[in-house]
A = this chain, B = another copy of it.
Amino acid sequence: MSLVVVGSVAYDGIETPHGRVDRILGGACTYIALVASYFTTVRIVAVVGDDFAPEDEQLLLARGIDLEGLERVPGKSFFWQGVYSADMNDRTTLRTDLNVFADFQPKIPANYKSDPYLMLGNIQPALQQSVRAQMHRPRLTGGDTMNYWMTPQYRDELLSTIREWDFLLINDSEARALSGENNLKRAAAKIFELGPRTLVIKRGEYGAILFRRDGYFMVPGYLLEQVFDPTGAGDCFAGGFVGYLAERGFDLDNGHVDHKELSRAVIYGSVMGSFCCENFGVDRFRTLTRQEIDARFHEFRDFTEF
């Protein structure tokens, strides 16, 4: 079941206590698409400049990702540079160059439009809204966003955008900012009033919570012996979550919702986020296999079952 992914395809400069890279393929759309490609057919909508390297295009093609919606325009690709603190719980952005992304107006290719699954990576809400409007009633629409779009200037735009989503996938500080509630259970109750009937709150190393009006599911974060680079882990969570649902042909409107499928999607999200941290940027996905993914899924069952 095909999945359309929208967001940034970018280059990142990353420094962690374990080393640094000056320029590596990154961006929310890249991470989500690479990860979801382990589960389903993926088509992307994004923009890059004329500096987009053939070997990076090759990485995406090798994972079977449809690049028809990857626009190429004169100029440079989005560039982000950041440095992590010693314990990697904080990071400082050193540079954000929007470059060709500044004028991005997503255009959905005709043969993407009937795809049933749509994942909107974190970009300006108006763009996310325009993408959904161009699709023919996707079966499941979800997205990510960030604190910046919750400030007074963009808040109304964000609210009218997420009102149409089936699921919202944000981190704990974003859930608090969006709802004005510090307690996550009360925050979830407020967010349900904004539209999405499914809310996934990512908690970094502490795992994730999936909320529905009638219950919730929680998982602790995978214990890595070494977190090499957490860049992209949240987007990889999203890719695993929506990728698994697409693979299963999951349908929220189908009378009976199988909550265990949503829970398993959270586990696959957690699995993919954990793999992401094992190497710089997207490097882990150059070698990762579906077999390793499923083995870690079962590991989650082993260390949480009682």
Q: Which residues of A contact B (CB under 8 A)?
A: 87, 182-186, 203, 206-207, 209, 215-220, 223-227, 260, 263-264, 266-267, 300-306
**How far, in angstroms, from A209 to B205 measured CA to CA in the complex?**
13
Cα A183 to Cα B221 in complex, Å, equals 13
Task: Report the nearest B residue to A265, measured CB to CB.
Answer: B306
Distance in Å: Cβ of A216 to nearest Cβ of chain B: 6
The CA-CA distance from A264 to B183 in the complex, in Å, is: 27
How long is the Cα–Cα vector from A266 to B263 in the complex, in angstroms? Answer: 22
Contact of A223 among B209, B260, B264, B302 (CB under 8 A): B209
**Considering the chains assembled together, what is the distance between the CA atoms of A9 and B217 in angstroms?**
37
Q: Whole-angstrom distance between the alpha carbons of A226 and B306 in the complex?
A: 27
Let me know if B185 and A302 touch, CB within 8 A: no
B224 contacts A306, C-beta separation under 8 Å: no
- The answer on a CB contact under 8 Å between A216 and B303 is yes
Interface centre among A207, A215, A219, A306 (most CB of B within 10 A): A306
Instruction: Output the nearest chain B residue to A217 by Cβ-Cβ distance.
Output: B303
User: Is B304's CB under 8 angstroms from A219's CB?
Assistant: yes
**Does B219 lie within 8 Å of A302, measured CB to CB?**
no
How many Å lie between the Cα of A216 and that of B209 in the bound state?
Answer: 21
Contact A306 B209, beta carbon cutoff 8 Å: no
Apart from A203-B206, A220-B220, A264-B306, list 8 A-B contacts with CB within 8 A.
A183-B224, A206-B220, A215-B303, A216-B223, A217-B303, A218-B304, A263-B305, A304-B304
In chain B, what residue has the closest Cβ to A184? B223
Q: How far is the CA of A184 from the CA of B224 in the complex (A)?
A: 9
Bound Cα distance A217, B303 (Å)? 4
Contact call B226/A87, Cβ cutoff below 8 A: no
Q: What residues of B have a CB within 8 angstroms of the CB of A206 in the complex?
A: 203, 206-207, 220
Q: Which residues of B contact A183 (CB under 8 A)?
A: 224-227
Note all chain B residues with C-beta closer than 8 A to A219.
Answer: 220, 304, 306
Q: List the 5 closest pairs (A to B, CB-CB), nearest first.
A: A263-B306, A218-B220, A206-B206, A185-B225, A220-B220
Q: 23 A-B contacts, Cβ less than 8 Å apart?
A: A87-B182, A183-B225, A183-B226, A183-B227, A185-B223, A206-B206, A206-B207, A206-B220, A209-B220, A209-B223, A215-B302, A216-B223, A216-B303, A217-B303, A217-B304, A217-B306, A218-B220, A218-B303, A219-B220, A220-B220, A260-B306, A263-B305, A305-B305
Closest approach, in angstroms, between the C-beta of A36 and any C-beta of chain B? 19
> Could you tell me the distance between the alpha carbons of A302 and B306 in the complex, rounded to whole angstroms?
11
